[in-house]
Chains A and B, each alone.
Chain A
């Protein structure tokens, strides 16, 4: 049975009296074991949602429930234990003087015994392919490598939900693919919820569900295929349409029937190949 892990109920938030509302009366639910993508233009409120989930910000209106607990001053420390979050800027979340110390930071905060700490550090660095850099200082790492370390730190604390706030933006396509596969493996193995925040439509294809944000409101909540099929509307709210979706569109406009909205190269190929064999 599906269990609701995170629930937003009529949540509104602003950064201060004099600021406009960053989130306007939003509601949604995220189930445990689910991969959810949150997508939206710059400033649409994605990072704000992430920070509300683990109580780094508290909403002025509405209610947020995480793991059955309402997020407030008393519960935030318990909630943060089960929420692993990777921020946008990899440099400013690197606390340790070396890669090893940085991955250890979250474990030290949780009072994990030293032997187990070492084990977990090695395993998680191995998972993101950073074992060779274990003694490197942050200034000797590239942005993408720092993002890998940040993800390793989250894997090490084995949370119940992983929030990635554009956490793979600095990785090359191959690296991103590898890391997302690693995260997905961990997610499936431990039945975690995964919240992947992005403004790149290419990254939502693997998600179970997509929340599209626009101007601080939930603009659409649907599956990736449906989101892909609304090209004009997405473009209007400032999102870039992936090449494959555009190509599929152009093809159908010149009379090639594309029935299933393709999400990637392979799916488009299958469509075309079927069409060809019917001719």
Chain B
């Protein structure tokens, strides 16, 4: 599990970043994603890299764990870099690979794009690494609140997300149970030609769907019985609070953005 993709995985800790309000993190990441595209000099890229790496360090999650967790993304980053080397034809020819000319502009552009890509993935994965899915759900509900005025079902969306989060492990357990039950009846999921293996999925999916629908029906009934009538007039147990550390973070981030514009060429 350790080497699997870490995007979407939560790593519990008590770091400064973990304790930030999820809204703070989402807003900052949103603006970071925009401002990454403004960097155009070595200094500005250096600044953003410094910001990203120090944020990653501040999570108290081992940097090597994060970097290793991004392995599939690395492949993509290297691929983009190589693609740029091949297609971009700017600047002077640096050297030739198998009589194919590599231009200096290609190296610079490729490196810049690859770095940009890396920073984006790193910073966005910090969100899910330090924030539980339910916190993210709460934050989204708060941030989208203004959309309520145009009748966008914000509360329902958030409820839907939290119910999905609650049932994902349950349905995974169920999938495992059904696949074991079917395997004991002789259904073979692991060997044989592709066509047979795909067909073997059917006796897995059908009972899974039936049970999911049954669950949904019973859950809806239980929710009604427990007095659920939609979002109006509801109070909330989980509350989000913007604290001093959030203001400090916003302030620090504003400084970074300001310096970004000063270091642009």
Contacts and interface: CB of A to CB of B under 8 A. Distances in A.
Contacts of A108: 234-237
Nearest to B169: A139
Interface in A78-102: 80-81, 83, 85, 87, 89, 91-97, 100-101
A107 B228 CA distance: 10
B222 A51 contact: no
Interface stretch (A2-10, A109-117, A209-217): A109-117
B224 A80 contact: yes
Contacts of B165: 97
Contact of B235 (A77, A87, A117, A157): A117
A110 B42 CA distance: 57
Nearest to A53: B225
B229 A109 contact: yes
Contact of A117 (B222, B229, B237): B237
A60 to B, nearest CB: 19
Interface string B172-185: 01000000000000
Interface in B228-255: 228-229, 233-239
Contacts of B237: 100-101, 104, 107-108, 114, 117-118, 121
Contact of B219 (A54, A85, A95): A95
Contact of B166 (A100, A112, A114, A138): A138
A111 to B, nearest CB: 5
A153 interface: yes
B218 interface: yes
Contacts of B225: 54, 56, 80, 83, 85, 87, 93
A105 interface: yes
Given A89-B218, A107-B237, A117-B235, A97 B162 contact: yes
A137 interface: yes
B215 interface: yes
B170 A139 contact: yes
Chief secondary structure at chain B's binding surface: helix
B218 A112 contact: no
Contact of A109 (B162, B215, B228): B228
B209 to A, nearest CB: 15
B28 to A, nearest CB: 25
A106 interface: yes
B236 to A, nearest CB: 6
Interface in B126-154: 133-134
Interface residues of A, number: 38
A95 B235 contact: no
Contacts of A117: 235, 237
A92 B218 contact: yes
A93 B222 CA distance: 5
Nearest to A104: B237
B233 to A, nearest CB: 5
Nearest to B170: A139
Interface in A234-250: none
A240 B173 CA distance: 33
**Residue among B165, B226, B234 with max Cβ neighbours from chain A (10 Å):** B226
Given A91-B170, A95-B166, A101 B227 contact: no
A109 B170 contact: no
B163 interface: yes
A109 B166 contact: no
Contacts of A113: 235
Nearest to B173: A139
B221 interface: yes
A101 B218 CA distance: 19
Contacts of A92: 214-215, 218-219, 222
Given A95-B163, A104-B237, A111-B233, A87 B222 contact: yes
Contact of B134 (A87, A97, A118, A139): A97
A141 to B, nearest CB: 11
Contacts of A101: 134, 237-238
Among B166, B224, B236, max chain A CB count under 10 A is at B166
A263 B215 CA distance: 38
Interface string A109-146: 11111100110010000000000000001110000000
Given A83-B225, A87-B222, A114-B235, 5 more contacts: A87-B218, A93-B222, A106-B227, A138-B166, A157-B227
14 contacts: A85-B225, A93-B222, A95-B219, A97-B162, A100-B237, A101-B238, A109-B234, A111-B233, A117-B235, A138-B166, A138-B169, A138-B170, A139-B170, A153-B226
